Amino acid sequence: MMTGFTRPAGEHKKDEFTGFDNDIKLVGDFIYQYTSSNSRWNSPKFLCGESYGTTRAAGLSGYLQNRHGMYLNGIMLISAIMNFQASRFNPGNDLPYPLYLPTFAATAWYHKKLDPKFDDLDKLLKEVESFAMNAYTLALAKGDQLPQAERSAILDKLHAYTGLSKTYIDNSNLRLYVGRFNKELLRSEGKTVGRLDSRFTGFDYDEAGERYDYDPSYNSTIFGPYTAAINNYVRRELGFKTDITYEILTGRVRPWSYSNVENEYLNVSETLRESMTKNPFLKVWIANGYYDMATAYFATRYTIDHMFLKPAFKNNISLTYYQAGHMMYIHKPSLGQFKKDFDLFIETAK
């Protein structure tokens, strides 16, 4: 609701729809009614979500199953976020720092800020992932009781993997997060790096700020072309006439209610685990971009590893990775591989 052309009808208020539970019920009931009205109950059924749409898709897997008895063939999650604790840089929540470190390392590698240099991205990421899940996680857990010798060793590694100065990392309490990193990495060049796709760079009003002024990957690369493309398609090719603005992002849907998880982080991976357990034929494909700072690929892998799926169902989840960002299909080589991976998933899941 409130994205695209969807708006409340009649006397309905938007807050009847703008919340996790309300949204799942609205979309789930629509899918049920559409399937019934068009006699498609025996057809293969797939859900595809991108970004926050992956949260919805995982939630829908449970709602459709439990409320309507609709069992899906497959779910496609593009740049997934299911456990919000893994991506929220709040004081006291140390989980995102090691999970985002590989993405920061990939970004520094791409912009040639690492010294010593790494010739191979995959080799770099494997090394950073191991450090993140072991020495770095343990160091963060010790808080201000971390011995100075260990702190110095962690500083050395973080400097080697991110290209940021040891002074900056030390002053940040060994904790780097989205926004600050985007501003700091290329500060000496007067540039910032993108959040949705950290391959892209932009310029702020000045170089003294703590965070970037805007996301260059979205505002300078994605927003304009995609807005033009969708409006041209629906208004000229499809002939749909309306004065309503087509809303590109869910970010304009405010306020959004998480009343179902007050005082905790939303985590729909448990819903997905339950759905896959009850429906052993349900297949899930997750596409990840190495340069995606909105939904970091390693945070997604962590979430999957903590679903505690039984061995019989683990092969029903597949993950693919691309040298691109949140919308990996804007990178032509990734688009070609993405299409092949998509076709393969449909063929094996239907």
What is the share, in percent, of the chain residues with pLDDT greater than 70?
99
Are the C-beta atoms of 309 and 278 separated by less than 8 Å? no
Beta bridge partner(s), residue 286: 77, 319
Give 301-318 pLDDT, tens digit per residue: 999 999 999 999 999 999
Pairing of strands 201-202, 192-193: antiparallel
Give the model's confidence band at 32: pLDDT under 50 very low, under 70 low, under 90 confident, else very high.
Answer: very high
Task: Give the pLDDT score at 14.
Answer: 84
List the structure tokens of 109: 């590698």
Phi/psi region, residue 278 (left: phi>0; alpha: psi -120 to 50; beta: rest), is: alpha
Distance separating the N- and C-terminal Cα atoms of the chain = 29
Question: What CA–CA distance (Å, rounded) separates 331 from 292?
Answer: 13
Q: How far apart are CA 49 and CA 232, in angstroms?
A: 23
Domains and CATH numbers, the chain: 14-85+243-349 (3.40.50.1820), 90-177 (no CATH)
Q: How far is Cα 72 from Cα 43, in angstroms, rounded to an integer?
A: 10
- pLDDT value at 251 more than 80: no
Record the pTM: 0.96
Confidence of residue 278 (pLDDT cuts 50, 70, 90): very high
Give me the amino acid identity at 222: I
Mean pLDDT, rounded, for 281-299: 98
- Mean pLDDT across the stretch 153-167? 98
